[in-house]
Amino acid sequence: MDRSPSGNRSVSTKTIQEPARQIPLYGEYEVAVLGGGPAGIAAAVAAARAGRRTLLIERYGFLGGMGTAAGVTNFCGLHANVYGNAHRVVQGIASDLLARIDRLDGLNAPHLILGKIFAQAYDTAAYKIAADDLLASYKVDILFHALAAGVVMNGDRRVDALMVETKAGRRAVRAGVFIDCSGDGDLAAWAGAPFEVGDAQGHPLYPSMMFRLNGIDPDKAGDAWRTIPQLMEQALAAGTHSFPRKSAIVRPQRSGIEWRVNFTQVARPDGHAVNGIEPDDLTRGEIEGRRQALAAHQFLRTVPGFEKSYIVDLPPQLGIRETRRIKGGYQLSGEDVLGCASFGDSVGVNGWPIEAHVAGDVVFTFPPIPESRGYNELPYRMLVPEGVDNLLVAGRCASMTHEGQSAARVSGACFAMGEAAGSAAALALAGNRMPRDIAVEKLQETLRQQGAFIGRDQAVPEGL
Ligand SMILES: Cc1cc2nc3c(=O)[nH]c(=O)nc-3n(C[C@H](O)[C@H](O)[C@H](O)COP(=O)(O)OP(=O)(O)OC[C@H]3O[C@@H](n4cnc5c(N)ncnc54)[C@H](O)[C@@H]3O)c2cc1C
């Protein structure tokens, strides 16, 4: 089999004919959400909260998306640095979920990143249980272990049904409004919505294989996250170890004996980022990610306090930061993030800076501190794809440029987008309109009443 310069199998021109068949209908819903990450959780809860019969479809047997399936274990983007002061700017459904995780003793106190902005770590088991509990309390139906695999259209612009592969065989899900929270824009792409992948050359942000270590001596390790970068430089200079990227994030979980490690960077043989929608890339990326995790641990065992540590968890999948970005009525840009842009149709905010995972490094670029308000608004048009009528897109595959996505892809903004998309779907159904035709002021009012912070003239929430 020939391989392309990236090392992938050449696209075969050979095809086989799949016989047409009758597909059992799994169910008919008012709202169907694809994907159970932060965007999908919030979208499903918001639609169900508004009284709509809602199904969430997820390929794994648990919720959380990259936050659990890729072992991220840390919420970014819940906070913003507003004129030099920290505020939690993502509220609403995210606050409800955080409270449930906290009740399970699964939430760290917020911690400062780069001396500029807060993030908040959590335990993945608590996240999974809290998310189950949240969806159950709003009576969202869930279909786990169901891989969406295609759509049947009703005309050019309307999705009739989503096809899902289950252990019982292929099933169809019908809905009035679909919300694509797959992170990869699978549903929207199959329905014919235009999309982009990666930078101007088509290369996405580099993925990472996260992992967690246990068996650390907390007293001896102390604030090792401060010293590890210097130890890496020394090891490089001494030639004892090499690293796939400069910036490593190694931080304690709630129990100081367990630390999370964000250390790896997974490339193709040609050096470009693994592409998370290429099957061969993903296969090699998983194996390379685990190889890098092992190598990283061999180095980390030289850090005081880490001598007896062991890899307690390699997550179910490689962590994918960026694949398809669906094109909608507006693409959030890097300038919008750095300029703290405002939009008349704002439905939430993003306070996370640009975090570019480029070859060999992670480059953060913040809006001016303390001169700026530190967050940009997220316009509703980001969620409304071109070309398809009964569809919304939320989360890391929403309408953004490569640079804009490098910031607003993190959990905080994804929760905000999801909550807005679920509420918008409910409003569209109530008014018998397409999502693109709803009254945005009504959506904004609904979100505010439900406790979300959407920017505009709202007072910035106090505290962390
Ligand atoms: C290594 C790494 C580290 C990161 N670190 C942080 C961090 O510290 N803090 C932070 O906030 N963010 C971090 N992020 C980013 C953040 O985790 C994601 O961008 C965020 O989870 C995106 O949310 P989402 O809901 O849009 O999509 P995702 O979290 O990707 O969720 C999509 C869901 O859809 C499901 N799905 C996809 N396709 C299908 C299909 N065809 N059929 C059925 N189900 C499907 C997936 O299984 C998944 O559960 C990190 C990301 C990576 C990869």
Domain harbouring 29, CATH code: 3.50.50.60
Residues 300 and 380 in one domain: no
pTM (predicted TM-score):
0.97
What are 213's strand-pairing partners? 259, 311
Longest CA–CA span in the chain (Å) reads 67
Q: Say how many Å lie between the CA of residue 20 and the centre of ligand 1.
A: 34
Query: How far apart are the C-alpha atoms of 58 and 411, rounded to whole Å?
Result: 17
Task: Give tens-digit pLDDT for 18-33.
Answer: 999 999 999 999 999 9
Last residue of a domain, one of 313, 332, 353: 313
Check if 182 has its Cβ closer than 6 Å to any atom of ligand 1. Answer: yes
Q: Residue 136's pLDDT is what?
A: 98
User: Domain for residue 420, yes or no?
Assistant: yes
Q: Is a pLDDT exceeding 70 seen at residue 262?
A: yes
Residues 286 and 307 in one domain: yes
Last residue of a domain, one of 292, 313, 334: 313
Check if 315 has its Cβ closer than 6 Å to any atom of ligand 1. Answer: no
Residue 375 pLDDT grade (very low, low, confident, very high; cuts 50, 70, 90):
very high
H or E, element range at 141 = strand 141-143
Determine the atom of ligand 1 nearest the C-alpha atom of 69: 49
Residues 159 and 92 in one domain: yes
Task: Give tens-digit pLDDT for 73-105.
Answer: 999 999 999 999 999 999 999 999 999 999 999
Q: Is the dihedral of CA 82, 369, 350, 253 positive or negative?
A: negative
Task: Give tens-digit pLDDT for 397-408.
Answer: 999 999 999 999
Residues 68 and 140 in one domain: yes
Residues 157 and 239 in one domain: no
Residues 42 and 109 in one domain: yes
User: Domain for residue 9, yes or no?
Assistant: no
Domains contained in the chain, number: 2
Residue 158 pLDDT grade (very low, low, confident, very high; cuts 50, 70, 90):
very high
Residues 64 and 195 in one domain: yes
User: Domain for residue 457, yes or no?
Assistant: no
User: Domain for residue 12, yes or no?
Assistant: no
User: Domain for residue 464, yes or no?
Assistant: no
244 lies in which domain range? 211-313
Check if 323 has its Cβ closer than 6 Å to any atom of ligand 1. Answer: no
Q: Residue 4's pLDDT is what?
A: 57
Task: Give tens-digit pLDDT for 25-63.
Answer: 999 999 999 999 999 999 999 999 999 999 999 999 999
Q: Residue 247's pLDDT is what?
A: 84
Residues 75 and 166 in one domain: yes
Q: Say how many Å lie between the CA of residue 269 and the centre of ligand 1.
A: 24
User: Domain for residue 15, yes or no?
Assistant: no
Residues 44 and 165 in one domain: yes
Q: Residue 12's pLDDT is what?
A: 72
Q: Residue 65's pLDDT is what?
A: 98
Average pLDDT along the chain: 96
Last residue of a domain, one of 263, 279, 313: 313
Give me the residue label for tokens 């807005």.
Answer: 420
Nearest to 189, CA basis, from 66, 325, 69? 325
